[in-house]
Structure 1
Amino acid sequence: MKQAIIYSLKVTLTTLLLSLPITFAIMMAYLKILPIIISNYSVNVHLDLKDAAVFIAFTFCALLFNMRKINGIAQSVYHKKRIAGNALMTSIALFMLYLLVFGKLMSLAVDEFLVTYGPSFLITFICMRVFQLRKEEESIYNDSKSIIVEPFGRLIYNRKEKNWYGVVPNLHPDHNIELSISTESEDQQIDDKVELVKKLASDYDAIIANLQYLIFRRFENTNFEKSLDEIKEMYNLISVDLKSDSKTWWLVMEPDFKVASIYNHYQRFTMVDREIVWANFDIDHHISSRMV
């Protein structure tokens, strides 16, 4: 959580320092140019310091909320692009609700709103993209033992979680996946577990097809129903965690950043051997989840 707080403070404090002078400069330029474009037009542009502080507070809370640890996953899934988009939209929505409740929104024309608050929104977004977000696990892995595991590359031992962890390119043909292999200790041999991961990689298409089908059935016959082809475009495997019993797998499907908010959450599954025994949504008991 330390890295999340540092990142959030960098974003919000920089926004606070820059938004006032930049907003003031834009306001002055707008007021000077506007009479040239439209005569006899009056505007009201004034950024209240209290409003700026409220927006900063909303942004800070939204950032921390979007960087909370995801239950059931050993690693913090930190995707800065998604965090920035979700946090910014949430903070803007809350801020507009705040303005509406206190009667400050309806009195502003569209251009007045954009000139008054637009610079703060833009500065916040730029700060979110510019500042680096270091994963919480980097501090955990400092000075940890690491090994090279073919064909998956380097894995680092996390003493806190008691697992070997790495972001590997050989489970999915198009993108890297977070791989965790749990052990009793860092000295335990993992050759047999690596063979299980290799077998999982060879069965990848069948496993993912099953998970995507379960997600499809989750939304089937609801107002949020999507076709199976659409589900396949919307969700991809992001995390594989082989537990210490060498039978239990935790699998996490990540939604694409473009999906609507109703679909914008991680789909988590527990697989024993090749059978899905749990998900973070109700699995229809009529659905066969046995995979080849």
Structure 2
Amino acid sequence: SVVTRAGTLNPLVQERFLLQDPELQGLATVIARADVRLRFGTWDEAQQKFTPLEDSTFTIDSSGVEAAAGEQRDSIESGSEIVLLGGVEAIGAVEVTLEQPLSTRATRIAQVTGAITLVGLLALAATILFATLAARRFAKPVRLLSETASAIGDGDLSARVPTGPEVAANIEMEALLEGFNRMASRLETTVGALKRERDRGQEHLADVSHELRTPLAALRAFVDLLDEDGTTDPATRKRLLSEAGRQLERMDALTANILELSRFDAGIARPEFTETDLRSSVSAAIEQAAAGARRRG
């Protein structure tokens, strides 16, 4: 080979073609550091013509050659030049064609490096942009879920999380939002039922209070009439005592009804409906109010 593994010119080539000339050896060493094509031949000074020798073309590839110790690889501009070896009319010459000089290779390496750097920066920017958009898309439903949970905690039981492909980033997130809305709906229904039950309980207490107040007022009127000595005859006193007993029985019945209603509310018993005559109830109410009316004149 023309170039050895150490990056120097082959000694056989030096002995045959370079004639142990230090300057030519230095030039050959510099040329050996680039990719060149060498043709050995003769130079006709009169005709200004280069005639290559047969089988005298050598291609030197320096891509895998390291610079020798104490040497520095130099670059040579692209082109072709004739190197004279002597001063006679027909002299030996070497045609040097730089096919891949180091300057061109370095330029290409710099271009490739710049392109790789640019592509890397663009890829990094695209990755950051994608990560930012993905983070926002995943953070949006979580933020809406947190805001809705806070609204429900503040008492707005009708608050719901928006759903749909424009909100949820994937199927799992959409299922989570829909499940939260179902839970919120059940909570609203349960709280509404409890409120209605509470309102019914308050109405029931008001009705019970009114029902108990009526017989108590009648009983008090009867007791006041009985307490007035000399104003009532024995027959009237007997009737008043009978009415007082009826009011006590009514209070006992009301107490039993309250207990029965509490059992209905607790689900222990079920109501049984029967037909009754309202005229007797109206007559009893008139009689209960008559005593107080007569007392007031």
Q: Give the TM bin, normalised by the shorter chain.
A: under 0.3
Radius of gyration: which is bigger? 2
TM-score after normalising by structure 2: 0.21
